[in-house]
Structure 1
């Protein structure tokens, strides 16, 4: 054998790796490289809404989004008309930052009160005669198509069908088929809206995810849509979705079963808590069983491009000011807790939840703006500073600023002024 075949020539002219050894390593790891690219594509590079609003299908109307905005503004003006009153309600410091947040939240409620709307044909709608649900599915699709056409639709909108368990499977499939077919027929030249979202609840086995994948692929073929056009969220509401009978993390198998169509994992606070035997008075987003489930979801979804959503609180901010303030503080603190744990989305169940959703979200991004911008600037300039950040942290810093931009908490001009980076550069640093 020649020296190259045995040991090769290294960078210093001495011993080194042979060409054959390097080729063997490439051949060995080629399947691993392909599998990593398929399973862990990273962030999808699109906007993630800060919340999902659930409205029962029979209550959904052409003015639902505007109505929620009006009700949210009325609650905000009545119970937190000034920054000082908002500070008292939430038990947070008053000052310039809160005054800025107060003004931005009010403008948000006027401009875009709902970022993601889910028309609910499941728990919020319940069992109905088939003819009634058929009509409701067609009506919902028509209203969504009209809203998209006139520009009044929120950035994301879609339906939650009944689950695929035997008792309601046919009904769920029928509703999905009617909604999609009607939406496609009435969608005009654009077809299905870009922000269409479908939600599959109460998933217990990965095979249920596979079943929906096959149904959506079949619809795409019949409608002439591109393969993979239809994605969906998986709601994690059952214990079987977290831990299977074999002891494996079932949620990871569900993401795999979705074959790239899963867009999100949504935690169901009350169904999951009840399944774990938690008493009604203690069912909450911050209960230990919730933290465990969401930690499993978080690890399973990391790097896959599948996003996380926390659940909701069922304490509604209605009644007198003292009662509203107590409910607002609870909601605000739960949302801030979720944000700190990297659950950047949650459910909102009532219009009066919108003010504290946005106050919590906007405060989260505005409070950290200066520090995040300084760290990212130092990283880009290789200037060091108080913290030596790695590329992974730079991605997180960019992602943090981009999330703040997407929801309106911060402005591009102030981010660019603080970092020297435009949107394209931020996207690149975030791996989008």
Structure 2
């Protein structure tokens, strides 16, 4: 004890510099291709509304219809908790937060749809609807918003580009591009289609003198070719790179993808094995790139008699919880009746794990010993978990700080840590 060890080395200082030189290209490649998650808020869902249906009161209407569904089919916390199997201690806080969310911010991310949900219409009509969408969204919009245009395939390519141009030009004329702007490119099969869409956005930016890269977009994975190329490689990884830094998300298209693989209509669902495989490939391809993955939707709508609504709610709640456990933090909602169970699943997911996550972070930052030994990567995951709960309204800043001892800024610093 107390003995001073003699330290011996064999390698000269020049070896380290040689290694730095050898790995300099790799260092640059890692920094370029794997910048990590941006750390910004990710919406818990995307709501798709056809361009001809979207109007000035659409978002508020969705919230009101969702609240009306609760009033009719689950008018209090006990009945709602019983339908979804929520723990007794969770049912009250979750129900209260769901109703508050539907009153305050019923839709987190809205996509005005000019693709499948819209169909093919005369050019003048689609122009009119795209211009109207831009004007209305500029006047009043949820935190995230945008359009889904037709794909880059030959038959509809020109129409898709024009709709995009009309919409973006309309936003600029109405006051500028909102911070939460999201664009969606559907039915991608080749990375070259992604590169072409990025080229269109680059051209728009140059015309209007916008900062290069201001416009980003989501890639919808709806074809088998988007997952596996003819040479056996993962096409989706190529697509992320083909976007030239503009890709913000990969969104799984439940029904188009299932149909492409020959899955019968009765079995097309987000939890089908084919869907799990596709999303797992998407998740690995996107990891570390800053591109986020979104689950798809269910087509079972909570409408009709109460028993039928409850069945649909249980299904949607289960699928949402399943996705969250697999780290798919976002999904699609196609009907106002899906909003109560979307938020119930999300809020319960964060509230039931909140105390343990906060305690583990407190122990980690205090370097205290507990029954779990956490590493920096786990601390990033824990802080990210709490931040997501704060972003969506499942958790409050005061309770998170009280339980973890960490301010929101400190949580953000922990979540942003990268291996050195």
TM-score band by shorter chain is over 0.9
Aligned to 1:388: 373
Out of 321, 326, 347, the position equivalent to 1:336 is 321
Out of 109, 112, 115, the position equivalent to 2:108 is 115
- Pairwise CA distance, 1:15: 3.2
- Pairwise CA distance, 1:13: 5.7
- Pairwise CA distance, 1:349: 0.2
Distance (Å, rounded) in 1 between the aligned partners of 2:7 and 2:43: 56
1:110-259 equivalences in 2 (<5 Å): 110-147=103-140, 153-187=141-175, 191-259=176-244
Give the secondary structure class of the aligned counterpart of 1:48: coil
- Pairwise CA distance, 1:346: 0.2
Aligned to 2:55: 61
1:234-313 equivalences in 2 (<5 Å): 234-313=219-298
- Pairwise CA distance, 1:88: 2.4
Distance (Å, rounded) in 2 between the aligned partners of 1:26 and 1:12: 28
- Pairwise CA distance, 1:12: 4.9
Aligned to 2:385: 400
- Pairwise CA distance, 1:19: 2.3
Give per-residue Cα distances to partners, 1:348-374, cap 9 Å, x unaligned.
Answer: 000000000000000000000001011
Give the secondary structure class of the aligned counterpart of 1:352: helix
Give per-residue Cα distances to partners, 1:81-110, cap 9 Å, x unaligned.
Answer: 1121112212333x2321111001100000
Distance (Å, rounded) in 2 between the aligned partners of 1:91 and 1:390: 34
- Pairwise CA distance, 1:17: 1.9
- Pairwise CA distance, 1:20: 2.1
- Pairwise CA distance, 1:144: 1.0
Aligned to 2:79: 85
Give per-residue Cα distances to partners, 1:313-357, cap 9 Å, x unaligned.
Answer: 000001111000000000000000000000000000000000000
Distance (Å, rounded) in 2 between the aligned partners of 1:176 and 1:431: 34
Aligned to 2:40: 46
Distance (Å, rounded) in 2 between the aligned partners of 1:424 and 1:15: 42
Distance (Å, rounded) in 1 between the aligned partners of 2:68 and 2:259: 34
Q: Are 2:94 and 1:106 equivalent residues in the alignment?
A: no
Distance (Å, rounded) in 2 between the aligned partners of 1:353 and 1:15: 65
1:313-352 equivalences in 2 (<5 Å): 313-352=298-337
- Pairwise CA distance, 1:376: 0.8
Q: CA RMSD in A?
A: 1.0
Write out the 4+ residue segments of structure 1 that deviate beyond 4 Å after TM superposition: none
Give the secondary structure class of the aligned counterpart of 1:167: coil
Give the secondary structure class of the aligned counterpart of 1:59: coil
- Pairwise CA distance, 1:146: 1.4
TM-score, normalising length from structure 2? 0.97
Distance (Å, rounded) in 2 between the aligned partners of 1:113 and 1:172: 29
Distance (Å, rounded) in 2 between the aligned partners of 1:19 and 1:29: 16
Give the secondary structure class of the aligned counterpart of 2:271: coil
Give per-residue Cα distances to partners, 1:55-95, cap 9 Å, x unaligned.
Answer: 000000000000000000000121111121112212333x2
Out of 306, 330, 346, the position equivalent to 1:361 is 346
Distance (Å, rounded) in 2 between the aligned partners of 1:137 and 1:317: 29
For residues 404 and 226 of structure 1, do their structure 2 counterparts lie closer, same or farther at Cα, with a shift above 3 Å needed? same
- Pairwise CA distance, 1:299: 0.3
Give the secondary structure class of the aligned counterpart of 1:97: helix
Give per-residue Cα distances to partners, 1:142-169, cap 9 Å, x unaligned.
Answer: 111111xxxxx10000000000000100
Give the secondary structure class of the aligned counterpart of 2:98: helix
Aligned to 2:64: 70
Distance (Å, rounded) in 2 between the aligned partners of 1:105 and 1:145: 27
Give per-residue Cα distances to partners, 1:263-319, cap 9 Å, x unaligned.
Answer: 100000000001010000000000000000000000000000000100000000011
